[in-house]
Amino acid sequence: MTNDTDRKRDVATAFGDAADGYRDGAVLKEGADLERLVDWCSDATRALDVATGGGHVAGSLAETDVSRVVAADLSPAMVRTATDVYDGLEGVVVDAERLPFASDRFDAVTCRFAAHHFPDPAAFLAEVERVLAPGGVLALEDLCVPADPELAAYVNRLERLRDPGHVETYSRDRWRGWLAETGLTVDAVHETSRRLEVDAWLDRMDVPTDRRREIRTVLSDAPAALEDAFAFRFESADRERLASYRTGVVLFRASA
pLDDT over threshold 90, residue 85 = yes
Q: Is residue 177 part of a domain?
A: yes
Domain housing 92: 2-146+165-194+247-255
Cα(213)–Cα(220) distance, integer angstroms: 11
Convert 67-78 to b/e letters by CB count within 10 Å (16 or more is b): ebbbbbbbbebb
Cα(41)–Cα(68) distance, integer angstroms: 12
pTM here?
Answer: 0.88
Name the residue with higher pLDDT: 1 or 63.
63
Please tell me the predicted confidence (pLDDT) of residue 60.
95
Pairing relationship of beta strands 89-93 and 233-234 according to DSSP bridges: unpaired
pLDDT digits (tens, 9 = 90+) for 180-198: 999 999 999 999 999 999 9
Q: Is residue 221 part of a domain?
A: no
Cα(21)–Cα(241) distance, integer angstroms: 23
- Here the CATH number for the domain that contains residue 88 is 3.40.50.150
- Which uninterrupted H or E stretch holds 213? helix 209-220
Number of domains in the chain: 1
